[in-house]
Structure formats: C-alpha cells, structure tokens
Amino acid sequence: MDLDAFEAVNRPDWNRLDSLTRQRRLHGEDSDELLDLYQRTSTHLSMIRSVAPESALSNELSMRLSRARTKFTGARSNVLEDVARFLVISLPAAFYRVRWLTIIIGVLFVGVAWLYGAWVANTPGVIAALGSDEEIRRYVEEDFVDYYSENPPASFAGLVWTNNAWIAVQAVAFGITGFWSPFILYQNAQGVGMAGGMMASYDRLDVFFIYILPHGFMELTAIFVAAAAGLRIFWAWVSPGARTRSQALAEEGRSLITVALGLVLVLLVSGLVEGFVTPSPLPVWARIGIGFVVFALYWVYTFVLGRRAVRAGYTSDLSDVDRGATVLTA
C-alpha cells in the first residue's frame, strides 16, 4: 500500500474528524457524522498498522481517535478515582521498581560524602584553602545553624521545596543523558561531605548531624529516587531488550515520570520538616525522630503498597486507552 497516496485520499476525512472533535456542542447530524468518521478512521488505522505499525502516520491517527473517543464517551473516571489510583497504585509501583537502585545510590552517596568529609577534616591545608579561620568559624558557629531560621518557616519551607523538586524533576527528565543524574549526586555528596568535614574540624560534628538529619533522611532519599528513575530511563535506551529503543524509552519514560510527580509531594513533606522541625526548639531526639518517622513511612509505603501493586500486575505506565495504544474498530 502506498502510504502517501492513502494519506492524500483520506486526509480530508481525518481533518473533518478533528474539526468535529473540537466543537463544543454537537447536533444530531454532527454526532452521527462523528461516529461514522470515527469508525472509518479506525479502519484506516488498522490498514496502516498492517503495513507500517510504527510509522508516524499510525501514531497520528491513534491520537486523533483517542481524542474523538473522549468526545463521545466522556471521562472514564472522576478526579478522585484518578488521584486515588495514582497514590495507591501507580506511584508506589514506580517507587518499588527503583527500590534497589535507590538504595545502591544512597550507599554510594554516603561513601563519597564521607570521603570528602574525611579529606577536609584530616588533610592539612584544606581548611585554610576554603577560607580564613575567621570565615570558617563564622560558618560553623553561626551561619550553618542560622541558615535554617533566618527566614520565616513557611517561606523557607516553600523555598527548599521548590528548589529540591526542581532538582528531582531534572534528575528524572534528563536521566536519559546518562551523566546528569550522577553529576547532581556527585555535586550534592561533595557539598554535604565538605560541610561535615568543616564542622568536624571545629568539633561541631554533632551540630552538623542535628541540623542535617531531621529533613535529610527524606530529602536525600528523594534525590536518590529521582536519580534512580533517571538512570533507569537511560538504561532503557542503552539496553532495550526485545523492544525497539523508541518503544523502551516511551514505556520507561511514561512509567518513571510518575516518580517526578510523586517526589514533588514527598519533597513538600521534607520541606515542611526542614522549615518547621529542623530549626525548632524541640529536643534533639524529637527532631531527629520526626525526620526518621517520615523516612520510615516512605519505605513502608514503597514496600507494602508498591509490592502489592506490582504483584497484582499493575505498573506505573499509562493505561492502553490513555496512551492511545488501542482503538475501537467497526
């Protein structure tokens, strides 16, 4: 079949289908025409897929039919059902899929941070190269702690939330490059390690952990999860298996971008902890305890709901209908 000739002959029908789909209201004759064109275009799609299933024209018609189907069938579910499905099935399944890579990344991150901290604290001349004694003392005795309370808690929580959420989204979206996620992790591990090394050099390591751990448990874990999702997308491109590279990237991208959306919520929680708990006058054990409980709840959520969803056959990918993979035919 000559696809160019086939498209030239049937393009007016497809454009008319689009025109009817965009109309806000349809009268009786228009509705009948919409259904007729929908069935006709479905047949066209079946014919095209029989000779060129992965062609751009096939994908274009599938999306046209998806929009038209929504026009005359309406929404499949209400918003509350969709939100519940996302929180109970799709999101925990996505977190569960990257669980082991998340843990491996976390161990490597702590190792790199510890090496930098040990280097700063134990290597003569490193502290002096970072600044004068007066500057370093001001940092470890005042600036490090004041950073968490120099702004109102609500505005500070919002600031760290948006900043960390942006980092997480970048780690997932640009993970396909293969270097962006490791780069972000390395930068953060270096910064955390050197800050800890400076604090240790002035016998303030206890203060460092008191102010890092309450929010750091969850905040750093969220970055590890984002990096793991990004690297999974990269690996789908490198080793697609039985799938084509475009198919593997599409499937992993749809599935794991869920991680980025979910981490926006996770980082909101860690931002609230950083803004309201970390600098609070609560006892040290209470501040660290709150941070650890948030961290533990994340892993319970991931391993309990995530494992249940995956074992039941659910994935974090869109449904067939939502991604335009299937159509109704006459």
Distance CA 245, CA 229 (A): 17
pLDDT of residue 184: 92
When comparing pLDDT for 92 and 60, which is higher? 92
pLDDT of residue 74: 56
Coil/strand/helix, residue 160: helix
pTM: 0.73
Quote the tokens at residue 176. 């396909």
Distance CA 165, CA 71 (A): 35
Q: Please say if the pLDDT value at position 3 is more than 80.
A: no
Q: Please say if the pLDDT value at position 187 is more than 60.
A: yes
CA angle 224, 226, 230 (to 5 degrees): 115
Taking each helix axis from N to C terminus, what angle separates 153-173 and 245-272, rounded to the nearest 10 degrees?
170
Distance CA 220, CA 110 (A): 10
> Each residue of 221-253: pLDDT tens digit?
999 999 999 998 888 888 887 777 787 777 777
Which of 7-21, 111-125, 298-312 shows the lowest mean pLDDT across its residues? 7-21
